[in-house]
A and B are shown apart, each in its own frame.
Chain A
Amino acid sequence: MTFQPTAGLGLKPQHYADALACWAEGLWFEVHPENYMAAGGPRLAWLDAIARDRPISLHGVGLSLAADESPDEDHLAALKRLVDRYRPMVVSEHLAWSMRRGVYAPDLLPFPRTRAALDRIAANVDRMQSVLGRQVLIENPSLYLPLTGHDLGEVEFLAELSKRTGCGLLVDVNNVHVSASNLGFRAEAYLDAIPAAAVGEIHLAGHAADERLGEALLIDTHDRPVSEAVWRLYARLIDRIGPRPTLIERDDEVPDFGTLMTERDRAHRLLAARELADA
């Protein structure tokens, strides 16, 4: 992968001015394209200004690649307009679904990882990449249900998807931790099996224990700092595969920009140290 392996931040509208003024080395920003699918106005103007100085990553949440139908062509066209406008360093989506028969459920829904599902999703990723004219990265979701009927494990499925379509992988270490805890597998073994060459980006975020069930059910809330357990998994992952662009995600209970930058700088230091180790 050719992207600069530095640390970035999820960009929130309340931080536009701070983001524009920040001079931190290697800083980049990620946004959900769904929040910028407008004809014009201040949001696009802010992103235009920030994208002049910083690399941008477009991280989609609504294309529903794991649906039992093709991706929505209007949505794909709107995404293409943003890709053309911002020339992002990364475009990514999820191994999940959220749209069916024209109704949108804003979540990352699970599915049985069958061979038939792999065929369908590979066709959807092909469609996405051919419309956008570029490679995309696919992210592992957080899982909350012990589904049966899988033909492939999640890593195996993602590796096969990457091999078939040429897509890269976005490894969300917090999602691995949450899924491993909820479904009872070892996060370390999962991360160790990921094909290093396919990984184009890493996500880090905070999670919470369910109010009723406690640690038995972890929820990918993005409403607090990254946990120490996730930082340890992250260090293990980059130790094996080398540095990759790494994002701190926060979508709820968003603190001030400086607080988020402190977390982002921690990832930045780990990446720099990992790069030195190679040199």
Chain B
Amino acid sequence: MPERFHARFLDALAGDARAISAWCVGPGVEAGLSVYRNTIAKGRSDALSAMFPTVEQVVGPDWLAAAARLHADEVPPRRASLLTYGEDFPAWLADFPPAADMPFLAGLARLDVLWTVAHLAADAAPLDPARMAALRPEDFARSTLALHPATRFAGFDESLPSLWRALQPAGPPPARFELELRPEGLLIVRPGLEIETLVVGPGALAFLSACAEGASLADAAVGALTAEAGLDLSRLFATLVAAGAFQSLRTLP
């Protein structure tokens, strides 16, 4: 029965060539199986590595490919589209002993995942800055800002976003991988087809998180000021709107 064959074939790929002895014996079995094993391992590893160019900048392609193969054995892809395969890699990397002396690596990987998610997100026209400029302060409590579908952000206790940006291909790689102990966030936007990234502070992160949860502009602003005392709110609005972080502004009557 074909049902039995498929399960047995996967056992054979996993290492037990005898599992398919009812269909295939002889000296060619191991060699044939190893072609399939190599193709599968390479396909998974190549797809996963492609999602982590910043990690690759730090550890090199061979280290990344080796780690990707180990990860793929533990967390194989669940879908035939491998575009987003690797979402579990950052958390896995945080517990990967050979990465223990690179505590920033998992965070860089997390930002690489956000970059890919933004890259593949739905297209939408960003909010027209004129709409935000025309909003009266007394309407803030009745208004909400919806994030653009490609907008992603993450906050860290250290200057990881600056390090991630310094490692992008456009810029020269940093001489040393050193983090400063200061809270930083990375905002990733794709108002058109090009991705842009901004290093932002805790106020901006609090504001974006509140908007993502559907909070009113007034509440989001209070959250931002609480997270970052002395924040220039109107400058923050202008920066985020100009970057294309939002899709729409709604004001209830």
Contacts and interface: CB of A to CB of B under 8 A. Distances in A.
Given A146-B28, A149-B22, A68 B3 contact: yes
A32 B24 CA distance: 31
A117 B28 CA distance: 24
B83 A39 contact: no
A147 B24 contact: yes
Contacts of A68: 2-3, 5-6
A266 to B, nearest CB: 27
Q: Classify chain A: how many residues form its interface, as a range.
A: 35 or more
A217 B78 CA distance: 30
B120 A103 contact: no
Interface residues of B, number: 45
B242 interface: no
B77 A148 contact: no
A41 B9 contact: no
Contacts of B175: none
B122 A106 contact: no
Given A45-B193, A112-B23, A120 B2 contact: yes
Interface string B125-140: 0000000000000000
Contact of B31 (A40, A75, A117, A217): A217
A268 to B, nearest CB: 30
A55 to B, nearest CB: 23
A217 B33 CA distance: 12
A104 B76 CA distance: 7
A147 B35 CA distance: 15
B119 A144 contact: no
A61 interface: yes
Contacts of B13: 105
Contact of A144 (B26, B32, B82, B123): B32
B28 to A, nearest CB: 6
Interface stretch (B37-45, B159-167, B206-214): B37-45
A146 B40 contact: no
B2 A109 contact: no
A109 to B, nearest CB: 6
Contacts of B32: 144-146, 182, 217
Interface stretch (A93-101, A195-203, A253-261): A93-101
A37 B23 contact: no
Contacts of A98: 80
Interface of B: 1-3, 5-7, 9-10, 13, 20, 22-24, 26, 28-29, 31-33, 35-36, 39-40, 43-44, 47, 76-83, 119-124, 149-150, 190, 193-194
Interface of A: 34-35, 37-45, 61-64, 67-68, 72, 74-75, 78, 97-100, 102-107, 109-112, 114, 116-117, 120, 144-149, 182, 210, 212-213, 217, 219
